[in-house]
Every structure is written in structure tokens, then in C-alpha cells.
Structure 1
Amino acid sequence: MGAALALCSATQCAACCGSAACSLCCAACPSCRNSTSSRLMYALMLLVGTIVACIMLSPGLQDILAKIPFCKDGDQQTIWHSVTNEVTFNCKDKVGYLAVYRVCFALCLFFLFMALIMLGVKSSRDPRAGIQNGFWGLKYLIVVGLTIGAFFIPEGTFFGSIWMYCGMVGGFVFILVQLILIVDFAHSWAESWVENYEENESKGWYAALVGATLFMYGLTITGVVMLFIFFSKSGGCGLNKVFITFNLILCVIVSIISILPAIQEKLPRSGLLQSALVSLYVIYLTWSAVSNSPDADCNPDISSIVAGKKRETGKLDILGLAIWTCCVLYSSLRTASSSSKITGSDNILVKDTGDSGYNNIIGNTDHNDEEKGTAKVWDNEEESTAYSWSFFHVMFALATLYVMMTLTNWYRPNSSLESFYSNSASMWVKITSSWLCIALYGWSLLAPVMLSDREF
């Protein structure tokens, strides 16, 4: 009973501290919308989970755990010593790729649970809105509790193998949704700028169209040249050369297709701007793929490229890991927030820019002008949500699985963080993603011509 009361007291204290911490953070930050602050807090949770997963793979962690008194070697998870009346654990099984699986299992379970709770929420007037936008201390305690519980899942091939296949499916779905949104964004961007040019016949919009297209194609060509310089060499790195050359040819093909007369007849606003953006993204995916080549001579890390030195075996590229983490967080936020593109709902983030609902200030019941001027967070979803809250959590769960699979070498799980940069599994997953991106964009151009009886 005393333990239960202590736990309740600790939970309340942590929740209060969490709220206080959030208030202090908001006080130090510029004013922002409630929908924005909530997304950032969930992104922070994913970031913390990613850092913990990286720590589980860090070299030397097993040696540190071996010095802890209750960590002993043994065949079982828990060992009871009747003589000394103490319990010891086999801590070797608590690190490595299985530890990453457990951490990400807890985080994924939390996001899926939140997605289930938020089904059908239409505005912040829903009683469940408080759960979405608050109780951060309690949420972190729940995640910590789920993580601790995940480490008590019995060892063996059942959990590792089943969860690996779940992670592969979820990670691949996350990649596929990203590719769909990239292609959709390319078409939306081009249509918007071409429409503005056609309506106003402004030379400024024409210059913007031409300038953006040339700039992205310039970056694409520069990227290809850099890939050939740093990720290939004379008489070697044949696979890297094939990937770079083949994807360059694919980019040229889709660029030519986008300006064919038959395509222009069905899609008059289709052009090189979309092709330039897709080509640039494909070259980025190509770099991401070849940077995972298991051949160290054909895979210099970012630090080695900047310093002009040869890659050191066993040296972790912290800069590259940080860049990858930022890209995952950004893509997770962007993908999760663009729910209307996938679900077909009316929730769009343009509502995020308005001032409606400013007076409904979080944690403030007195809505006078003086307090309005000093408020840091206001409710902009009183009429309707700016994005699908349930879909947002589903995408963060998929992002968690993507992080898990990338860190652990996809279908060839490895307990070393070094494999994050040198593994063939990630290389093939990413190069396949680049081909899927080209295929999706090419189909978006050819479908109106091939299926002329359907409306797109």
C-alpha cells in the first residue's frame, strides 16, 4: 500500500514538474499556436527515444553495465542467490539491437494508443483535447513505464523476429507515404506558381519558376558530381557507379517525359519544376544509399569529406548521425501534418496560420487584452483541428519503426552503431526508395494519358 501511495505521489510530482517545465519553456519562446507546440513536444519525445536507442548501441556500454553490482552473467534473465538474498540480472541481454527493439516497441505502443484515443476528434472543444495538448509529465512517465516493462519481455527469437518484421513493414510504409507526399508537393508547388503566372502574367513569377527550376537542377548536377568524386574511384566502387549513373538516367527520362506534348495536353501545368524537385530528392536518396555501402573505401563519412581525410574504421560520424536525426524529425512532422493528402479530410495546416481562437489561451480563463498580449500559446483549433490528430500519431509510430530499423540494420539486425553507416540492408532499402519515387512521379505523369477515361 505504501509503495502504491509513493508511486502516486511520484506521478503527481512528475506531472506537476512536467507542466512547470513546459510553462518555463513557453515563457522563454516566442508566441506560438497550440497545434504547433503540441507537434514540437511529440517530436521532442521521438528525439529522446532516438537518443536512448543510440545509447543502447553505443560501444562500451556492456563494459559499463558489468561494473554494476546487480549485473551478472548467466543463462537466465534473473538469478536469485539464496545465500546472499539478492537478485541479479543478465545485463548483456539488455543492450544491443534487442534493446533498441524494446525502446522503440514502447514508444510505438504509446503513439498507437494515442492514435486510438484521438479517433474522431474534430476540434479542441472535445474533452480529449486536453490529453493531446497536455499532461506531458504523465506522458513521459507512461513511456518510461512501457519501456521498463518491455525489458521484461522474455528473451528468445519470438519477440526479436516478429517485431523485426513488424518494423520492416512499418518503416517501409513510412518511406512510401513520404514519397507520395513528395510527388504531391512537387505537383502542388508547380501548379500554384504556374497559376499565379497565368493570372497575373507577372515577370516576377516567370523568373521565380525559371530560377527555382535551374537552381534545383544545378543542385542535382552538383550532387551527381560530388557522388562520383567521393563515392567512386577508378577501378572500384562499381555498385556505387551503377546506382549513381542509373538514377541520373532515370531523372533525365522523367524530365523529358514531363514536357512531352501528350503530357502537356493532359497536364498543361506539368513541367520541369516538378521534375527538378523530384530529381533533387532522388539524388539525395542515392547519396543516402551509397553512404551505407559496406565497402569502407567507397563510403567516406561526412567528417572525412570535410576534413579531406580517409575514413577511419570504427569511428562514428556524429555529424552524419545528427543530420540523419534532424531529417527524420522534419520528415515525421511534415508527413504527419499533411494528413489531408492521405486521408482526404478537410484538415489542412493553412488553419495553423490564423489568429482565430487566440483568446482561448491554454491555462488562462481571463481573456482580457493585457493577458492576450503576454500569452505564449493560444488555441487555434477551437473551430476545427488543423490536422488529423489520430493520423499524426500513426505516422509518428511508423517513424519510430523507421528509426528502429535504420539503427539496427533492417533485415540484418546488428548490435553496433557502426553498422548504421556500413550495411547493405539500409543501402538497398534506400536505393529502392529512390526507384519508387521515380516510379510514382512517372506514373503521375503517364496515368492521365494511359487512362484517359478517368479524371485525375
Structure 2
Amino acid sequence: MLTPGVESQLHKLPWVCDEGTKTPAVLQGHIDCGSLLGHRAVYRMCFATAAFFFLFSLLMLCVRSSRDPRAAIQNGFWFFKFLVLLGITVGAFYIPDGSFSNIWFYVGAAGSFLFILIQLVLLIDFAHSWNQQWLCKAEERDSRAWYAGLFFFTLLFYSLAIGAVALLFLFYTQPGACHEGKAFISLNLTLCVCVSIVAVLPKVQGAQPNSGLLQASVVTLYTMFVTWSALSNVPDQKCNPHLLTHLNATVPEGYETQWWDAPSIVGLIVFILCTFFISVRASDHRQVNRLMQTEECTATLEASQQQAVACEGRAFDNEQEGVTYSYSFFHFCLLLASLHVMMTLTNWYRPGATGRMVSTWPAVWVKICASWGGLLLYLWTLVAPLLLPNRDFS
């Protein structure tokens, strides 16, 4: 629906679209094609998925085991669930414009803020797992190549972060202007340096041996990306080169929300990589592996033949005593993911009074605050073993 040319194709179907895009959204069984395009289509489709996951998050509250009748809905009834999702999606396009887009923009900004923090948690987990595995291989095989690999990627990530800082100052600041951008870049750079120093302190590494500069470099690079994404929403043409692409381009109505700029593309790539990582990570997790447990059979020994007769395992439901993951929180994370995709596809632009998408300072502050929250979250993972020595953080 964001692709140029879709509107002209839709107008070729007289049973779908009204003759003009200025008519109400629904009129005599026909739909205004404008409601099927651009940010309005993104808002409505993501509203449908968010509403679907929100309903299931409420429905699955306090499901403790598979003996709960609601567990069958979680693990089955796929045809009916897709039918419900389709119905919500169709109904979403009948929502009048009014204040819906403005309200849903702020809901999406809040949800995307939380999902940015979740992405950082996944990146921290990824860096910790990566660092631990390569250190173990270096010790087992007594090879310095693994240490060299860790050093190379750590240096690479820090180099990319430093290059990003230089480019941000070059393209998003001007002499005697853009004071907010300069403050954001300088402050985030200072905070990244601080957490990098904390990560290699002897006391921190003593309490958490897996802590190191690899994790700090990943967090630093991600923080610079979030800073770049925030600066791309600054509503000042002098301080934001991307603003010209969206607000001054002479394109037909409905196409002004082009999402294929660099910050949005990188954001979608990060989103996909995080989703891929959590899938791979979950498949290797001991709690998830318990889903594939089999009953063990005792081998019997035939005295005459001196041969062991093995019994084949039989799969069983291991969630009768307790679920292996929270069904409700699972759907809540997908709710936040839907909102994050919505904000990314619309560049965090808010619908304006004229129907065009405009960039606003709230989007900038939400992203900057998310970068600060992520740095504080990483700092907590470093100092928590020192402050809470009785807890097991392995």
C-alpha cells in the first residue's frame, strides 16, 4: 500500500473505489482509495494486528498450565484466529479519520519506545552469548584466533560508532544552530564512553566475568543508530537533511509517506535481525527444549542374548504442571512489535491538519529517551551483580 502506482491500479476496480478520493471513507458500499494508501493503510493494518494481540494478551492472563481451557486456544484453532484477524483488519479500514490517526500516533510512539528497549535487551543477550561462546572455544582449543576475532569485531563496532558520530555532526548540525542535535550527540557519546569504562572495571569483571568491551561496543553502536533515527525526525530543515525528502517532494496525495529512507531501512533490518536472533536463541534454550522432551524407557537386558532392548520415547505434554513461557507476555511483545513496525514505516511522522505527514519534536524526544533508557538498562546489567551479590546472574 506504500508502493507508488497502487492507487491507479485500485481505481481500475470500480467495485472497490469511489470515483474521487475526497469522498467519505465509506459511501454506498464503495471505499475511498485514499484510506487504503500511505500512512492511513499502515495505521489501520497495524491497528488490526495490535488489537488482535492485545485481545489475546488479555485472554491469556493467568494461564498457568495446559489444563486451563484457554491453553487450547493458544496452541490451536488457527483457522478461527486468522479469521478474527482478517475481520479486525477489514473493520479497521472503516474507522473514520477524525482524531484516530493523531491518537494512534501517540499510542504507537509509546509502544515503540518499549520495543526499542526490548531490542536492546536482545542485543545485549546476543553480545553476551557471542562473547561467552568465543571465549569458551578459545580456552578449549587453546587458540588465539578466537581472541583475535573478538578484538576485531569490538574494534569494528567502535569504529563504526565513531564514524557515525562524525557523520551525525556533519549532516545534522550547523555552526551556530542545531543546538539540540549537538547536545544529543555529545551526551550520548559521553554516556557510551562511561558505560564502556564501567564494563572493564576490575570489580565489574570480577562479579561478571563475561562482561567486556564487545557488549559495550554493540550497545554503543545501537545507541548511535537510535540517535541517528531521532535526529532524522527533527522538524528543522537546516538540521535534518531527510526532512526535505518528505515535506517538499512533489508527489500525489497518499504518497507523501515514503518509508524507504536510510533510517527506516536500517530500523527494519535491526528489527528483522532481532526477531531472527530471538527465534534461534529460543530454539536453543533449555526451557523451550523441554517442549520436545520424551519419556525415557528403561532398557531391559536379555540374559540369554546379552542384548539391550531399547524402548522408543513417546512425546508428552510437559505443560500440565506449568507453562514454559508466559502466553500473555508473548502476545504483549507482539503488540509492541506491531506498533514499532507502524512507527518505522511512517518514519515516526504525525498526521498533520492538511492530511500530510509532518515531523514533530515528540518523536525526537521519545527516541532520545529510549536511547538513554537503553544505556541505563545496560549499566544495570553491569552493576547488578555488585549491588545484589546474593542473586545468581549466571
So what's the TM-score if we normalise by structure 1? 0.60
Q: Report SS of the residue matched to 2:238.
A: helix
**What are the Cα deviations for residues 418-438 of structure 1, in whole angstroms up to 9, with x where unaligned?**
848x44333222222211121
Q: Does 1:401 align with 2:334?
A: no
Partner residue of 1:26?
none
Q: In the alignment, is the contact (CA less than 8 A) between 2:109 and 2:366 conserved in 1?
A: no
Q: Alignment length, in residue pairs?
A: 349
Q: Does 1:101 align with 2:43?
A: yes
Distance 1:264 1:299 in 2: 41
Partner residue of 1:293?
234
Distance apart, 1:417 and its partner CA: 10
Q: Cα 1:327–1:452, aligned 2, differ >3 Å: closer, same or farther?
A: closer
Q: In the alignment, is the contact (CA less than 8 A) between 1:171 and 1:401 conserved in 2?
A: yes
Q: Cα 1:186–1:174, aligned 2, differ >3 Å: closer, same or farther?
A: same
Bigger Cα displacement from structure 2, 274-283 vs 177-186: 177-186
Partner residue of 2:190?
249
Distance apart, 1:251 and its partner CA: 1.2
Distance 2:182 2:73 in 1: 56
Q: In the alignment, is the contact (CA less than 8 A) between 2:11 and 2:33 conserved in 1?
A: yes
Distance 1:247 1:168 in 2: 21
**What are the Cα deviations for residues 207-243 of structure 1, in whole angstroms up to 9, with x where unaligned?**
1222222222222222222222222232332222221
Partner residue of 1:281?
222
Return the letter of the residue paired with 1:167: G
Partner residue of 2:156?
215
Return the letter of the residue paired with 1:448: P
Q: Does 1:430 align with 2:358?
A: no
Q: Does 1:330 align with 2:273?
A: yes
Q: In the alignment, is the contact (CA less than 8 A) between 1:97 and 1:415 conserved in 2?
A: no
**What are the Cα deviations for residues 68-120 of structure 1, in whole angstroms up to 9, with x where unaligned?**
5465756x7655xxxxxx66666666666554332212223445567768x86
Q: Report SS of the residue matched to 1:347.
A: helix
**What are the Cα deviations for residues 301-329 of structure 1, in whole angstroms up to 9, with x where unaligned?**
49x9xxxxx99932757353444434333
Distance 1:408 1:268 in 2: 42
Q: Cα 1:102–1:446, aligned 2, differ >3 Å: closer, same or farther?
A: same
**What are the Cα deviations for residues 231-276 of structure 1, in whole angstroms up to 9, with x where unaligned?**
2232332222221111111111111111222212212332212211
Q: Does 1:176 align with 2:117?
A: yes
Distance 1:347 1:393 in 2: 17
Structure 1: runs of 5 or more not aligned: 1-51, 80-85, 305-309, 357-380
Summarize the alignment of residues 252-401 of structure 1 with structure 2, pairs less than 5 Å apart: 252-301=193-242, 313-314=248-249, 316=258, 318-320=260-262, 321-335=264-278, 338=281, 346-347=287-288, 390=327, 394-401=332-339
Partner residue of 1:237?
178
Q: Cα 1:109–1:335, aligned 2, differ >3 Å: closer, same or farther?
A: farther
Q: Report SS of the residue matched to 1:346.
A: helix
Distance 1:270 1:110 in 2: 39
Q: Cα 1:165–1:199, aligned 2, differ >3 Å: closer, same or farther?
A: same
Summarize the alignment of residues 39-58 of structure 1 with structure 2, pairs less than 5 Å apart: 52=1, 54=2
Q: Cα 1:59–1:104, aligned 2, differ >3 Å: closer, same or farther?
A: same
So what's the TM-score if we normalise by structure 2? 0.69
Q: Cα 1:404–1:127, aligned 2, differ >3 Å: closer, same or farther?
A: closer
Distance apart, 1:337 and its partner CA: 6.1
RMSD of aligned C-alpha atoms?
4.7
Q: Report SS of the residue matched to 2:287.
A: coil
Partner residue of 1:152?
94
Q: Cα 1:166–1:288, aligned 2, differ >3 Å: closer, same or farther?
A: closer
Return the letter of the residue paired with 1:434: S
Distance 1:77 1:312 in 2: 25
Distance 1:107 1:186 in 2: 31
Return the letter of the residue paired with 1:402: H
Q: Cα 1:269–1:69, aligned 2, differ >3 Å: closer, same or farther?
A: closer
Q: Cα 1:72–1:291, aligned 2, differ >3 Å: closer, same or farther?
A: closer
Distance apart, 1:295 and its partner CA: 1.9
Distance apart, 1:192 and its partner CA: 2.6
Summarize the alignment of residues 119-158 of structure 1 with structure 2, pairs less than 5 Å apart: 143-153=85-95, 156-157=98-99
Return the letter of the residue paired with 1:444: T
Q: Cα 1:269–1:65, aligned 2, differ >3 Å: closer, same or farther?
A: same
Structure 2: runs of 5 or more not aligned: 251-257, 295-314
Partner residue of 1:11?
none
Distance 2:239 2:176 in 1: 11
1:204 to 109, 132, 145: 145
Distance apart, 1:141 and its partner CA: 6.5
Q: Cα 1:193–1:292, aligned 2, differ >3 Å: closer, same or farther?
A: same
Q: Cα 1:432–1:65, aligned 2, differ >3 Å: closer, same or farther?
A: farther
1:185 to 119, 126, 144: 126
Distance 1:177 1:340 in 2: 19
Distance 2:261 2:106 in 1: 30
Return the letter of the residue paired with 1:432: C
Distance 2:246 2:33 in 1: 33
Q: In the alignment, is the contact (CA less than 8 A) between 1:190 and 1:269 conserved in 2?
A: yes
